[in-house]
Homo-oligomer: A and B are copies of this chain.
Amino acid sequence: MSKDTNEKTQQQQQTEKDWYEDLVLRSGLAEHSGVKGCMTIKPYGYAIWENMKAVLDARFKATGHVNAAFPLFIPKSYLSKEASHIEGFAKECAVVTHYRLINDPNGNGVIVDPSAKLTEELIVRPTSETIIWSTYKRWIQSYRDLPLLINQWANVVRWEMRTRLFLRTAEFHWQEGHTAHATANEAITEAQLMLTEYANFMENYMAVPVITGCKTESERFAGAVDTYTCEALMQDGKALQMGTSHFLGQNFAKAFDVKFLSKDGVEEYAWATSWGVSTRLMGALIMVHADEAGLVVPPKLAPTQVVLIPLINKHTKERQADFDSAIEKIKQELNGLNFVYDDDDTKRSGFKFAEYELRGVPVRIAVGLRDIDNGVVEVARRDTREKFSLPMDNLGAAIRELLNDIQNNMFQKAKQYRDSHITTVDTFDEFKEALNTKGGFIYAHWDGTPETEAAIKELTKASTRCIPLNNPQEEGKCVLTGKPSKQRILFAKAY
């Protein structure tokens, strides 16, 4: 790849980042805060995230999990207990060293009290395996205590210098499931079950098609035996890891000495999983569906599914009673949906149309005197931006059908894009060609070594995304080294 190409790519990336961040800001989802690396999730963004949480939480509970809350802080020594965990984990953490402020003797506000130094530093949790497994030691004695199926909704901190709203921030919000089991098989089944739950949520609610698979060894979570992942494709041709589920073997049980007495009276180490999705999902939602007019929010997650805008003109007042009763009838029809009636008369209709488009509200209904006389309303669907009339009678049923159709259409459109951006290649030239002209996933043979993986990444910026579940086995040759390979795997440039 020539230097020019490289530079162009960087410039393009900059533009894409600007487009993305600009959209997040303009649509009122989130913004950067006064604290470097930390974002403020604004009410509209938080409302979408709350809808996501509600669906996921219900599914976690339906599959037997309960919520709990573990400490925000982790004693520094805990992090060292599972060697591969701390070795592989990024060490960019927020470290608490003191516990008191005092008035500055020079009168400049407050300073840190140098005498209030902690004997052991505390780390703001970057993930909670260590603090949770130190707790499980007290909770698990017998096979009767298993399985232990716990989730927590929490904020975590991983220090980041180059942040991007929702996709990469120092503080982010997520859920982390941490389960303990009596057998390896049970734990593997749990990790796969939660992967399936994630994939179902992403496809059926977010309308984002995902490929589920296993990470290669070098892309695994630090401390995991196997990492399962849901991978999605953004509209710019880059992949995004949407959520992961880990089979942790007995690594954390051994590190924190969590043993149980089995049915046969034998002392054994417990088997573990952990799994999580974060506010990063918001980034995917935006990048998969947004268009030139702004966000497109899938109906099942939209805080506002329908906006109703009255078209007022100088004649409206003359027939106010007719107008009001028509509006009332429409409101009745929309009862039960998340809908907003926006009759703010300080803003023009055109301005409102653009605002709700920017915020991705799935359906807009506009109604004026002439519509009322014709017994219809004007409907605009956000996904295709088509406009058409619908009869006022039975409007509620028609809108519900329309919302379903939008949900399905958004998924199909994203799936079509994704499917048409998986390229099977046999040579490294084809690999680079597909990556640079088309982007998306590259499905290629690889010799299975971390060295080749690293070399491909170095040469192309594409990383291994996953070995798909039920991946067909076929003899082939590694695109880079020509060494024998038993299966193709997915590569992509990724966030």
Q: Which of A's residues lie within 8 Å of B, judged by CB? A: 31, 33-35, 38-43, 46-47, 50, 66-80, 86, 91-102, 108-113, 121-124, 131, 134-135, 138, 144, 150, 155, 157, 159, 171, 173, 346
Contact = CB atoms under 8 A, between A and B. Distances in A.
B72 A157 contact: yes
Contacts of A171: 71-73
Contacts of A101: 76, 79, 91, 93, 95, 123
A144 B345 CA distance: 13
A264 to B, nearest CB: 16
A220 to B, nearest CB: 20
Given A101-B76, A110-B80, A159-B100, A135 B40 contact: yes
A46 B33 contact: no
A85 to B, nearest CB: 11
Contacts of A131: 33-35
B110 A99 contact: no
Contacts of A92: 99-100
Contacts of A75: 34-35
Contacts of A144: 346
Contacts of A31: 138
A248 to B, nearest CB: 19
Question: Nearest 4 pairs between A and B by C-beta?
Answer: A80-B109, A38-B71, A43-B66, A41-B69
- This chain: how many copies in the complex? 2
A40 B68 contact: yes
Interface SS of chain A: mixed
Contacts of A155: 72, 155
A46 B113 CA distance: 35
A78 to B, nearest CB: 7
A68 B31 CA distance: 12
Given A93-B100, A109-B86, A73 B38 contact: yes
A361 to B, nearest CB: 16
B70 A40 contact: yes
A43 B66 CA distance: 6
B100 A70 contact: no
A150 B28 CA distance: 14
Contacts of A73: 35, 38, 94, 171
Contacts of A111: 76
Contact of A97 (B66, B67, B97): B97
Given A95-B98, A95-B99, A96-B124, 5 more contacts: A34-B135, A73-B171, A80-B110, A86-B109, A92-B99
Nearest to A144: B346
B69 A109 contact: no
A203 to B, nearest CB: 26
B71 A46 contact: no
A152 to B, nearest CB: 8
Contact of A173 (B69, B122, B124): B69
